[in-house]
Each structure stands twice: as structure tokens, then as C-alpha cells.
């Protein structure tokens, strides 16, 4: 049941029609059942795993809150170990076994680990991070655990964020679940806009750029022009796809009385690596900062240790996306960028990029680094990375007529999205809502018309569903 399907539209319409007739406890129970149905529509086989994990995390959270000293730390350790074991088995065992067997065989070993055909439970990465942050926040005395199992289950399973985020902190969402919720006209206007804008970005931009990206990464050799077009297509495909999903999630939640924080803040306008990670997948980058980078020591133990912490944090961030070397390489690449930027800041004056022209050059330069990162992220093999990188030894094809023509076609989809997002930056808003009902109505009609007219008919699945 994907967000860009008629099935979800009908499902969500029923939810919106029923909710106003229910008091808080009944509404929460209804939303929990609806969220379970939403997940079961994907794969009912893992409902037992979700139930077991939900009950276990609710119980251990209560124990962490009620105990002290060594016992309390042991309950936290138990929670973290169990959650990571579940995630590790389903998501990483096959990757580890395959690489261990290859290494062992190269050393002359005979025995090998069994390779299992493990089905990856949908949303397990997001679900696990929600569970871990819940337990750790209780341990840090930053959160009082949920009083009711149903409230905690709804926090974990609420369908707008269940499958692909954003990662919502319990301290932010649990009070909204336990307290009275009301939707204002502003909530309705914002929610409808976010849903329509997300669908437009997904269908018009992401799905129309997908074939160009797929074409490149199905090749083993390509010219510099082909690599540039394909990687550029993927960069805006993954942004429009994931930010579009997040917009739909935030809009859906808003219509039900819940408020999710921003997950994207125009990341391709970032001027440096640190700025990029303050704009891209904000809920993940903040999670990695608060629950990994800072506990590792952050920047409190000297420069060398800080660089190591940055690198380790970003490698884990890459590995979180999937069990593959390209994700590890992508994470390490961004760790190196963050470390290099930090080193540069310490050796140069901070105001040296304050001039508008230099700022624009910094944005373009960072976008170039980001593009190469997406090549690492999407590549199917190390050989493909080497071949595509080596293609730029001869950059003459970048100005070939077919490349310029392809770029012009892509900009038909990319440029209007950028115009709207620049407008949002100027308004300092994450959504466009006008003061009059007529203005909002015309905006909604324009988005619907654009989506129907220019949207791809392929109905591609959202990329981050794979993570």
C-alpha cells in the first residue's frame, strides 16, 4: 500500500472519515489497528516479529525507568543488544556470511558460514532506530516511558512514518498521542498542500528521471557526459522521491492532528558538508549525532579523535541504508568530507565565503561533491565506480549535443521544483499556504493538474522503502 496508490488514498480517506467520531482512547486504538492493516498490506508475515519487539521494548523501557545503578544499565544493554541482534540478523547476516566465506576461502579455509535466504522485514531500520532512541532517552532521564502499551505501539507503528520515516523522537510524538488533538484550518491547508506537493515531486520529478538513472547504472562503461546526466538524474530522483515521501507523511499526519518535524531543508543549496547534513534526512543525521557521534566523544577529545568519530558515524550511517559495500563507501566518503571541512575551518577564516559570489561557488562545489557521493551510493560494483570515475579523464563529451539535449529535457522537471523551493526559502517556510481559500484551491488544482499531466505512469516504489 504505497502512498502514491489509489488503495492508500481510499484507506486514508476512511481513516479521516472515522477519526472525528472517536474519543481519544478509541481514536488511538483505531489508528493502531489501521497502522497494522497498513503494514500487513505489505507483508503480514512479520506482524509477529513487530508484536514481540513492541512488547519487549515497552517492557524494557519501563524497567530502565524503574531501576537504578548497575541494574538499570543492564536493562539498557539488554534492550540495545536485542534490537541490534534482530536488525543484524535480518539485514546484515547474509552480507557478513558472504564476505566472511570469501575471505576465509581466500586464506585456504574449508568451513563456511551457512548463507540463508533471509527476507528483510519492511521498515526494520526505521523501526529499530525508534526503539533504540526510546530506551536511551529513558536511560538519560530525558523521557518518561509511555503509560499504555497501545500508546507505545502507536508511536512505533503510526503509518505515516512507519515504512520510511521520518525518525520521530518519542519525546515529540508520545505527548501528541496521549493528549487531545485538534486540527485547525491551517493544519488542513498545510496537510493537503504537503500531500499534493509530495505526490507531484514523486510522480513528475522522481519517476520521470528514474529511467535515465537506471540506464546509466545498467552500463559498465560510459562517457563523461553519460555519467554526468545519469548521476544528476539520480541525485534529483532520490531527493524528489524521498522528500516527496516525507511531505506526504507529514501532510497525512497533519490531517490527523500530528506534527512531524522537517526532514529536508533544501539540501542541494548547502554550501559545505556540515550544512548538507543539516539539510538532508535531518531526522537520521540528528539521530546519528545524538546516539552515536556524541557518545563516541564527539569533538571533546582532540582533533584526531574527532575525525575518527566523524568517519565511524558516517560509515554506520551508510551501513544503515543497506548491507553493501557501496553504502559503506558512501558513508566513509561523507565522513572524509566532514573531516576535511572541519580541518579547513580550523585553518581558514570563517568569513571567507560570506560574499554572495563565493557562496554561490561554494554551493556549486558542494553539489559536485554530493553528485560524486550519489555515484558511490548507486553503483552496482567497485569496477563500475572506477570506470565511471575514469570517464572524466576525457571530459569532451560533457558538451556533446546529445548531452546538452538530455540536460534540457531533465531541467523541464527539475527547474520548476527548484523554483518552488527557492520561493519557500524566501518565505522561510516548508510549505506554501495562501491566506484565502480561493488561493489555496487554485494551488491544489495546479498541483493535481501538473501531476496528472506530467506524472510518469510507472508507479515506481519509493526508494527508501528498500532501507
CA distance 137 to 169: 9
CA distance 15 to 360: 46
CA distance 3 to 1: 7
Residue 321 among the catalytic residues: yes
CA distance 1 to 125: 19
CA distance 1 to 41: 6
8-state DSSP, 95: H
Q: Which of 321, 334, 341, 355 is catalytic?
A: 321
CA distance 333 to 311: 8
For the chain, count helices (H), then strands (E).
21, 0
CA distance 260 to 272: 26
Report the length, in residues, of the chain.
467
Q: In a 10 Å sphere around its CB, with 0-12 CB exposed, 13-18 middle and 19+ buried, how is residue 168 labelled?
A: buried
How far apart, in Å, are the Cα atoms of 428 and each of 422, 432, 440?
Answer: 9, 10, 18
Long-range Cβ contacts of 273-276 (<8 Å, 24+ apart)? 273/334, 273/337, 273/338, 273/340, 273/341, 273/366, 273/369, 274/338, 274/341, 274/342, 275/366, 276/366, 276/370
Closest listed residue to residue 261, CA positions, set 397, 112, 430: 430
**Distance from first CA to last CA of the chain, Å, rounded?**
17
CA distance 318 to 333: 9
CA distance 185 to 14: 20
Closest listed residue to residue 198, CA positions, set 248, 147, 136: 248
Tell me how many degrees the CA angle 187-189-192 measures, rounded to the nearest 5: 100
CA distance 17 to 21: 8
CA distance 458 to 44: 25
Q: What crossing angle do the helices spanning 47-66 and 69-87 adopt, rounded to 10°?
A: 160
Residues with catalytic function: 321
Amino acid at each position: 500500500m504505497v502512498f502514491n496508490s489509489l488503495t492508500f488514498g481510499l484507506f486514508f480517506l476512511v481513516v479521516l472519515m472515522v477519526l472525528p467520531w472517536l474519543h481519544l482512547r478509541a481514536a488511538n486504538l483505531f489508528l493502531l489497528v489501521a497502522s497494522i492493516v497498513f503494514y500487513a498490506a505489505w507483508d503480514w508475515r512479520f506482524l509477529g516479529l513487530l508484536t514481540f519487539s513492541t512488547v519487549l521494548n515497552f517492557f524494557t523501557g519501563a524497567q530502565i525507568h524503574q531501576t537504578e545503578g548497575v541494574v538499570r544499565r543492564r536493562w539498557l544493554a539488554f534492550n540495545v543488544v536485542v534490537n541490534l541482534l534482530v536488525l543484524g540478523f535480518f539485514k546484515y547476516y547474509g552480507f557478513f556470511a558472504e564476505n566472511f566465506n570469501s575471505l576465509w576461502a581466500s586464506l585456504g579455509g574449508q568451513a563456511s558460514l551457512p548463507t540463508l535466504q533471509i527476507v528483510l522485514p519492511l521498515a526494520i531500520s526505521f523501526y529499530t532506530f525508534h526503539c533504540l532512541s526510546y530506551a536511551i532517552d529513558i536511560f538519560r532521564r530525558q523521557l518518561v516511558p509511555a503509560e499504555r502499551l497501545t500508546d507505545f505501539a502507536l508511536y512505533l507503528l503510526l503509518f505515516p512514518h512507519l515504512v520510511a520515516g521520518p525518525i520521530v523522537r518519542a519525546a515529540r510524538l508520545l505527548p501528541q498521542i496521549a493528549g487531545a488533538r485538534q486540527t485547525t484550518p491551517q493544519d488542513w491547508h498545510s496537510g493537503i498542500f504537503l500531500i499534493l506537493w509530495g505526490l507531484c515531486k514523486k510522480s513528475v520529478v522522481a519517476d520521470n528521471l528514474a529511467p535515465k538513472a537506471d540506464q546509466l547504472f545498467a552500463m559498465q562503461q560510459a562517457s563523461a557526459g553519460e555519467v554526468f546526466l545519469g548521476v544528476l538524474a539520480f541525485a534529483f530522483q532520490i531527493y524528489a522521491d524521498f522528500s516527496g515521501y516525507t511531505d506526504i507523511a507529514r501532510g497525512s499526519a497533519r490531517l490527523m492532528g500530528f506534527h512531524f518535524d522537517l526532514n529536508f531543508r533544501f539540501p542541494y543549496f548547502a554550501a559545505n558538508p556540515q550544512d548538507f547534513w543539516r539539510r538532508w534526512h535531518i531526522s537520521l543525521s540528528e539521530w546519528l549525532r545524538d546516539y552515536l557521534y556524541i557518545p563516541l566523544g564527539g569533538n571533546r577529545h582532540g582533533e584526531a579523535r574527532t575525525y575518527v568519530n566523524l568517519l565511524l558515524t558516517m560509515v554506520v550511517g551508510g551501513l544503515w541504508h543497506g548491507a553493501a559495500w557501496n553504502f559503506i563507501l558512501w558513508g566513509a566518503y561523507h565522513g572524509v568530507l566532514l573531516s576535511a571541512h572541519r580541518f579547513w575551518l580550523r585553518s581558514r577564516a570563517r568569513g571567507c565565503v560570506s560574499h554572495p559570489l563565493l557562496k554561490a561557488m561554494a554551493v556549486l562545489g558542494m553539489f559536485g561533491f554530493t553528485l560524486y557521493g550519489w555515484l558511490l551510493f548507486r553503483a552496482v560494483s567497485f569496477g563500475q565506480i572506477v570506470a565511471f570515475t575514469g570517464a572524466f579523464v576525457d571530459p569532451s563529451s560533457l558538451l556533446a549535443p546529445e548531452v546538452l539535449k538530455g540536460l534540457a529535457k531533465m531541467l523541464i522537471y527539475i527547474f520548476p521544483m527548484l523554483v518552488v523551493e527557492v520561493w519557500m526559502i524566501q518565505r522561510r517556510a516548508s510549505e506554501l499556504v495562501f491566506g484565502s481559500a480561493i488561493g489555496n484551491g487554485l494551488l491544489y488544482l495546479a498541483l493535481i493538474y501538473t501531476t496528472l499531466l506530467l506524472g510518469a505512469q510507472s508507479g515506481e516504489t519509493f526508494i527508501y522503502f528498500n532501507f
